[in-house]
Amino acid sequence: MMAGVGGGNDFQWCFSQVKGAIDEDVAEADIISTVEFNYSGELLATGDKGGRVVIFQREQESKNRLLSRGEYNVYSTFQSHEPEFDYLKSLEIEEKINKIRWLPQQNAAHFLLSANDKTIKLWKISERDKRAEGYNLKDEDGRLQDQFRITTLRVPVLMPMDLMVEASPRRIFANAHTYHINSISVNSDYETYLSADDLRINLWHLEITDRSFNIVDIKPANMEELTEVITAAECHPHQCNVFVYSSSKGTIRLCDMRAAALCDRHSKFFEEPEDPSSRSFFSEIISSISDVKFSHSGRYMMTRDYLSVKVWDLNMENRPVETYQVHEYLRSKLCSLYENDCIFDKFECCWNGSDSAIMTGSYNNFFRMFDRNTRRDITLEASRENSKPRAILKPRKVCTGGKRKKDEISVDSLDFNKKILHTAWHPKENVIAVAATNNLYIFQDKMN
Amino acid sequence: MSGEVEASTEEQQEIQDTVVSPEKTEEAKLKARYPHLGTKPGGSDLLRKRLQKGQKYFDSGDYNMAKAKMKNKQLPTAAAEKTEITGDHIPTPQDLPQRKQSLVASKLAV
């Protein structure tokens, strides 16, 4: 498998596809809120603020496709969540899909979990390409026949029909979260999954909807004493007893479910020491971790805070093994970023299939990739200006001061409304999906 | 004499800090614009605001105060400013901003 990333002469990213409307006026409901490939990479799911899920399927590779890999076409779309109002608590519940997680495929159907702020749903997506015809008791239109008028008996036969993809909600996991769900993660036992909100983490069994186990509870007895919240959580990819959760204070706790029923006491505590003299009003806010992801190998985990991505070795708690600056030039803009709330933007991050590269988003529809081996990094842009089929993406550069070179963009010209919060990397190939507000871009490596 | 030298060294260190750390410069900017900004920035206020996302009305105390006010006043029409409902009159389901359900298919699926 190719090593991935860019910067060198041997590897380049190309435009493949873009989905979504072109118009400038973006409806709030169309804003993409999550992107996720399934385990094989054959399917790509998106969720949006309007509570809708769209699943794309990669077309089969054929001999004709020499210059590019299969394209992703719409496979299924459905309304996952609706807006609700909790009258008892006087709380408006958004239909926005916060997270989608696929289950590993075990039969012909596909299953995924989708979550909004309060409810998680298990959806079954199945294909139907045959239909039974020749019923005895009902005619072709489905109307019931008068049974006394039937004189002969026939066996219905299965006839081919146009492929129909159906999505149906198989389980609804509700009423277990007082606060807003930020993460869901399927366990490697394929039987359980966890869901995390600001203060609690619950463990569910996929078959059981009327109860869940609370495994982490950081709610203080007196809410005035609240100092940190849970920002993300994930199950270990191989060890079904291990999970991690990150906090708004920039720390990560690894917990072992074998140790106790309630994992309030962590097994490992990851925190990078901070230089107290450099502490400012913004320190804690920008240290808040917005995403945590285990590497595929299970040996490392990656965290995203406002300005950087850090790779941690699970065997070393006192500091990350690698730190990558995403957009350090924003450090001198923190005042205005606080005023326009951008400082609270939650960027996600992801690994490539071989864990040799990582990717995360930034502003101005820029996204960044880091090669862990060569230490090269690249900044690319998701833009319709660069959307000719197989067009090679040109690296972008932000000018931080002094003379701006041609093709560079100055920090003050960055569009902070164009944020790339959600990206996904195909589990096996160099194909990436990048959500730019209401558009989904798919890029792939250049094939020679 | 030596006291003065020490003081100016400290001043220099402060200036040094501000020049060297863009973050501290930004902090000074923010405090200049919002002098009453809390001393515990990452603490309770911000977090509680985060936890209360989606909250439309305050609590039963709010409700009871509104009820007491209402005794002598006529109930304002539902056309009143929908975002400022808290505390002013007793909210009813009809007053709530109508959440339109997404009947339109996603534009990604076109």
> By a Cβ cutoff of 8 Å, what residues of chain B touch chain A?
17, 21-27, 29-31, 33, 37, 41-44, 46-48, 50-51, 53-57, 91, 93, 96, 99-102, 104-110
Q: Quick one: B29 exposed, middle or buried, by C-beta within 10 A (0-12, 13-18, 19+)?
A: middle
Question: pLDDT tens for residues A375-429?
Answer: 999 999 999 988 888 899 999 999 987 778 888 999 999 999 999 999 999 999 9
Q: How many beta-carbon contacts under 8 Å exist across A and B?
A: 134
HSE (CB half, 13 Å, CA atoms) of A400?
8
Give me the phi and psi of B97, to 5 degrees please.
-60, 130
β-pair type (A408-410, A397-399)? parallel
Name the residue of chain A whose CA is nearest to B32's CA.
Answer: A335
CB atoms A283 and B23 under 8 Å: yes
Q: Token pair for residue A433? A: 């999906």
Per-residue pLDDT at B43: 57
Q: Are A112 and A103 within 8 A, CB to CB?
A: yes
Please check whether residue A156 is in contact with residue A135, taking contact to mean a CB–CB distance below 8 angstroms. yes
Interface of A with B in 312-331 (CB under 8 A): 331
d(CA A319, CA A316) in angstroms, rounded, equals 7
Q: Which residues of chain B are within 8 Å of residue A83 when distances are taken between CB atoms?
A: 99-101
- Structure confidence by residue, pLDDT tens digits, A342-379: 999 999 999 999 999 999 999 999 999 999 999 999 99
Backbone dihedral region of A41: left (phi > 0), alpha (psi from -120 to 50 degrees) or beta? left
A57 interaction partners in chain B (CB closer than 8 Å): none
ipTM score = 0.76
Helix or strand run (H / E) with residue A308: strand A308-313
B75-99 pLDDT, tens per residue? Answer: 444 444 444 445 555 556 565 656 5
List the single residue in A with minimal CA-CA distance to B93.
A87
User: Residue B30 and residue A91: Cβ atoms within 8 Å?
Assistant: no
Put simply, the answer to whether B26 touches A333 (Cβ < 8 Å) is yes
CB of A56 closer than 8 Å to CB of A16: no
Contact A52 B101 (CB under 8 A): no
* Closest Cβ–Cβ partner in B42, B100, B107 for A20: B107
**Residues A123-150: tens digit of each pLDDT:** 999 999 999 998 888 887 778 888 788 8
Residue B67 Cα, gap to closest chain A Cα (Å): 17
How far is residue A228's CA from residue B42's CA, in Å, rounded to a whole number? 8
